[in-house]
């Protein structure tokens, strides 16, 4: 039996997933063409490595093909699910990364210009990442996209399919929780760094 022609009424993500689960590879190609750009953009922002971003995109769509037959449209939007899978795969890679040694001849003092990088790469960064992983899922997603992906609030809202106001609330709650859990480390960090607005803006004032 040949492929069923995909008409205009079957162009939604949910319909394309259903068509793919029935054995229509054209549906997968349409979904890939529709969403590969946004998945790659998210992975690039978070990983800052084109090769790794492409690997994450491939793994994300493989996960989509595997779950196509079990997809339940009423539970979530496909784009929300897709970006969530991509984000989690990016975070897995970021957690496994170790700080790279500083190139020979680089001015050590220059790292002081980016205290946020020091925060995320040092011993304190390990404790921060552990605390982030203990946050509720939506808070963890929002703060991770802000810290690791360096996305703006509107970009986070688009990725998580929520309003900007909801993102602001999620970030505020996540920052309060992190400050409570890491208060002593935070006070020491602020004492060492002084009044650094970049760090305070991302972790919380």
**What's the average model confidence in pLDDT over 105-120?**
45
Distance of CA 98 to the CA centre of its chain: 18
- pLDDT per position as a tens digit, 123-175: 666 777 778 778 887 888 888 778 765 678 887 887 777 899 999 999 999 99
Q: Could you say which DSSP state residue 74 is in?
A: G
- pLDDT per position as a tens digit, 7-16: 444 589 999 9
- The pLDDT score that the predictor gives to residue 166 is 95
Which of 67, 96, 125 is the endpoint of a domain?
96
Does residue 73 form part of some domain?
yes
Closest to 161 (Cα-Cα) out of 78, 63, 89:
78
Which of 96, 122, 143 is the endpoint of a domain?
96
Residues 38 and 84 in one domain: yes
Give 126-167 as a 3 state SS string: HHHHHHHHCCCHHHHHHHHHHHCCCCCHHHHHHHHCCCHHHH
**What's the average model confidence in pLDDT over 114-122?**
52
Distances (CA, A) of 22 to 3, 4, 86: 10, 10, 25
Cα–Cα distance for residue pair 169/172, rounded to 1 Å: 5
Residues 140 and 82 in one domain: no
Cα–Cα distance for residue pair 137/174, rounded to 1 Å: 10
Is residue 190's pLDDT more than 70?
A: no
Does residue 2 form part of some domain?
no
Residues 79 and 153 in one domain: no
Residues 67 and 147 in one domain: no
Does residue 107 form part of some domain?
no
- Domain range for 125 is 113-203
Distances (CA, A) of 174 to 44, 101, 128, 150, 203: 24, 31, 12, 16, 9
Percent of the chain surpassing pLDDT 90 = 26
- pLDDT per position as a tens digit, 162-179: 899 999 999 999 999 888
Q: What is the CATH number of the domain that holds 168?
A: 1.10.10.10
Does residue 25 form part of some domain?
yes
Does residue 106 form part of some domain?
no
Residues 86 and 136 in one domain: no
Residues 32 and 87 in one domain: yes
Is residue 63's pLDDT more than 90?
A: yes
**CB neighbourhood size of 198 (10 A):** 13
Task: Provide the number of structural domains found in the chain.
Answer: 2
**What's the average model confidence in pLDDT over 53-78?**
90
Residues 118 and 192 in one domain: yes
**CB neighbourhood size of 92 (10 A):** 11
Does residue 6 form part of some domain?
no
pTM as predicted? 0.56
Distances (CA, A) of 205 to 51, 52, 158, 163, 176: 35, 33, 25, 23, 9
Residues 157 and 127 in one domain: yes
Is residue 62's pLDDT more than 90?
A: yes
Is the four-CA dihedral 82, 87, 88, 92 of positive or negative sign? positive
Best-predicted range by mean pLDDT (13-27, 86-100, 186-200): 13-27
Q: What is the CATH number of the domain that holds 66?
A: 1.10.1740.10
- The pLDDT score that the predictor gives to residue 184 is 61
């Amino acid at each position: 039996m040949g492929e069923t022609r995909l008409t205009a009424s079957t162009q939604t993500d949910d319909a394309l997933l259903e068509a793919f689960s029935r054995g229509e590879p054209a549906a997968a190609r349409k979904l890939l063409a529709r969403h590969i750009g946004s998945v790659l953009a998210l992975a690039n922002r978070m990983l800052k490595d084109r090769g790794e971003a492409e690997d994450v995109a491939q793994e994300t769509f493989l996960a989509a093909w595997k779950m196509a037959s079990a997809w339940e449209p009423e539970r979530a939007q496909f784009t929300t699910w897709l970006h969530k899978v991509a984000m989690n795969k990016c975070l897995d890679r970021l957690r496994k990364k170790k700080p790279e040694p500083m190139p020979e001849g680089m001015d050590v003092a220059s790292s002081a210009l980016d205290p946020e990088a020091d925060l995320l790469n040092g011993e304190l960064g390990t404790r921060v990442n552990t605390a982030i992983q203990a946050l509720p899922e939506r808070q963890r997603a929002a703060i991770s996209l802000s810290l690791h992906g360096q996305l703006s609030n509107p970009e986070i809202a688009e990725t998580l399919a929520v309003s900007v106001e909801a993102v602001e609330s999620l970030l505020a709650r996540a920052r309060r929780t992190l400050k409570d859990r890491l208060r002593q480390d935070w006070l020491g960090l602020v004492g060492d760094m002084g009044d650094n607005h970049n760090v305070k803006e991302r972790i919380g004032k």
